[in-house]
Amino acid sequence: MILLKKELRTLVTGVASGIGRSVASSLRDRGDIVFGVDYQSGDGWLKADLSMAAERERVMQTALEELGAIDVLVNVAGIYRPTPFGESTLKDWQSVWDVNLEAPIDLMSQAFSSMRAQNFGRVVNITSVHAKLSRQDALAYDVGKAGLEAATRSFALAGAEFGILANSVAPGFVRTQMSINESGIDETDTEEFRLQYIESGRLPLRRASQPEEIAEVVSFLSGRSNTYITGQTITIDGGLTATF
């Protein structure tokens, strides 16, 4: 059965800035009723700490009360902390996994019954090229993103018979707050980035992406036009992972 209601009822996390903000804007523009969540305070979304299970339950309960049901879930919220081997602990890793892995899995699990009841659902999880490419100082981030892609595939299998499609979107370099380094400079504007990725040809399109470019793909995957793509990871990286 295809959902006939005009507006999709959509929950998006990480809406205060960057990819999440662009996704929420894009989905509103197509007519979705968007319920936004972010760790930062602001008008137009619910403030919540997604690292805490009780907070995630509050988010889902509030979203269901306001929307009536969840048709679309887009998990964008994420954090990055350096966690090199030998210099980080399980506590350090877990603090990253709480937000980047456990939170989206928990929200998917909570949204499942609502989607199943309607025989319709769309889930998009924002992962990263870090799911396939590793950095020495990014242990927890790499593992979390790889784990989320695996969880997305599992969810896609569980939801298939109920008209629920789930996919991951894995960006490469994106000009967002997460790309701003400790000196307050966007890493994609540095000389190191220019030499390592632009001049070397490792990044064939020779630029970082904009959040809006990621949002366009999310919009398709999370909408009614997507009727057959599920359990996949769509990489948007300007050709970064096509080179070696």
What are the residue boundaries of the structural domains of the chain, listed by start?
9-174+209-237, 181-208
**CATH number for the domain formed by residue range(s) 9-174+209-237:** 3.40.50.720
Of 38-42, 55-59, 60-64, 184-188, the range with the lowest mean pLDDT is: 184-188
Which residues are CB-contacts of 60 (< 8 A; sequence separation ≥ 6)?
Answer: 11, 70, 107, 110, 111
CA atoms within 13 A on the CB side of 18: 20
Mean predicted confidence (pLDDT) in 193-218: 93
Q: Does residue 76 have a pLDDT over 60?
A: yes
Q: Where does the pLDDT of residue 3 fall: very low under 50, low under 70, confident under 90, or very high at 90 and above?
A: very low
Mean predicted confidence (pLDDT) in 102-120: 98
- For the entire predicted model, the pTM comes to 0.93
CA 11/CA 59 separation, integer angstroms: 9
Give the pLDDT score at 181.
67
Active site residues: 141
Mean pLDDT, the chain, whole residue set? 94
Q: Where does the pLDDT of residue 185 fall: very low under 50, low under 70, confident under 90, or very high at 90 and above?
A: confident
CA 105/CA 88 separation, integer angstroms: 24
Give the pLDDT score at 176.
83
